[in-house]
Structure 1
Amino acid sequence: MTASLHCAGICKSLGGRAVLTDLDLKIDAGEVVSLLGASGSGKTTLLRIIAGLVEPEKGLITLDGRVVWSEKSIIAAEKRRIGMVFQDYALWPHMTVANNLTFGLRSQRLSDQDIAQRLNHALDVTRLGPYRDRYPSELSGGQQQRVAIARCLAARPALMLFDEPLSNLDAALREDMRIEMMELVRREAITVVYVTHDQAEAMAVSDRIAIMRAGEIVQFDTPRAIYETPADSFVASFIGGFSIVRGQVRDELFAIADSDAETVRTPGARSGAGMLVIRPEDARPAEAYPGNRLQGRVLSSAFQGRCWRLAVDLGPQRVRLDWPEAPPIGASLAFSLPPERCVVLTA
């Protein structure tokens, strides 16, 4: 049975440095939530605290309303009904796939019939039946990852934790495995906390994303809401590789700082210092939105498959744009932006 998760006021320091600071996180039953952040943001520490592998200094953790950690009450990791999939799979190399899946079950004193049922179900849903008698060294990286997931499923967890589970796979296999893995956990209706530093991966797998910085959650929302309305310049630059341009807003017109470039209409933006978020894919030909025309100098270009990613100098600041062709380096480029896509953040 899947469960909700609530972390309240979690604090943790390592080596005298605060890693998590009064952190709150609430996840609904059956929800897939990613913890996204750069190295050192505290996401893996939080995951290990939820699992029971690391103890916080303060706070409260409940799983489906039951307290699993507080300063007065601690439930051991093995009794929390939490499964964890590690980056390195953590399989027993001397055991077959079937034995890797049933090793932990036998310590629970389950009947042979119950163990067999759980084993067969886990092998079936992960399509590992033909590999049950193989050893990890005889499997590909993607197959080993499926074994790690199957081992968690066999334990019937209320919550599954994924710690950068795809980082050891090559790009093509990583995307295929991500789709397969998410289809599986959603079909089983399991609550998931997924740690990653890959923005595209977080966007693809999550119902909601918690973006972490220096031990705090700076924005917790759906992938679309975060992409469309980032909370601040850190989120905007981290989540989508957006360009952040400093300037001033007056009467809903944004003027780029220290530049003679034209102003840009920004409906709803408040007057004062601000930062314009420019998404690369929003760039349009200059005639598309004449009232929102900007001009700069091409600094570089890189082929992206469906388009070229340009770096364009707008005076003292530069932006990244997606363009259908590659202009010569140093050429002047005029482009426009849809007014409704011009998000201004408070400076």
Structure 2
Amino acid sequence: MKRSININALTRPIIQTMQAYRSARLEFVESDREMILLDANENPFDTGLNRYPDPMQTKLKERLGIVKQVDPSNIFLGNGSDELISLMMVAFCEPKEEEVLLVPPTFGMYQVSANLNGVDTIEVPLIANFQLNVPEILAQATNRTKLIFIPTPNNPTGNRFPTKDLKAIVEGFPGLVVIDEAYAEFSPGETAIDWLEDYHNVVVLQTFSKAQGLAGARVGMAFAHQNIIGVLNKIKAPYNLNVLSQQAVFDRLDDADAVANEVQLMLKEKEVLIFEMQQLSFVEKIFPSDANFILIRVDDSQFRYKQLIDKGIVVRNPSNQYACKNTLRISIGTATQNETLIAAFKTMDQ
């Protein structure tokens, strides 16, 4: 089933009519002609960083298009996925009038971004085994609901949602479905990027902050129908991705074998951690994980969290989230870091 959608009708009226900022440089970024640049009041002396970056990240998008097997016109790049999440709300949600739908427990920045942008939220909690409640999601969505945010693998639970459930939501919802694949490299298989030709209401988020090892560079990617990308380009800051971050991505793409090796090492270490935690009396449950972290239920999460802090180890305590009482979320570290964690756990179990 193919799904077309009128993007203009979903876009906020003020965004439809606004004039985007356009730098003079934008007219020449696709030209190989050598130009004397006197348009942007920059320091003319070469420091390697004295010029503004290409506002449309043209060359990087071309490279990513090859890697992801998607046309560059279907790619938007931002200052981490946080910027992408916020821009989606700015573009498509009228403050105090329209809403987004969330599926708790879920990534906290969706709610933070909604709060900052004055956008209401409705929640349809996950059901048994942290699965999507597809009928209830479609039932709760109204004509005020513009976006649904679904991370898969999910954060903080770690599980990947079935493709059939995601497609049922995409096919049944008249707005945009944002599928956040931040941990995609740890869960190989079908990506929703492959759906873009058939489902024009899908926006896929991926990041260089997790498996790619560039959290400090802050580079997020959105893949969507070119009309959605056009709206995001219209409202983004002119130079939202700096030269250093763009170069870091090029360098990492050149080292794809190292990334793949690191992913395999983390997955192997995850299995070691799971085995060791199964031996601990205070660990009551280890939830299935398709990501580079593990969610566990313990006897007293705050007590165990404080014990780890005292031993110099920081984990996440998501116990205030829906259905996450007495849980800890543990990222997979290096073999040495994991050995230290296991040793700490064993002393806590005495």
Q: TM-score, normalised by structure 2?
A: 0.29
Which structure has more helix as a fraction of its residues?
2
Structure whose alpha-carbon radius of gyration is higher = 1
Q: TM-score, normalised by structure 1?
A: 0.30
Which structure has more strand as a fraction of its residues?
1
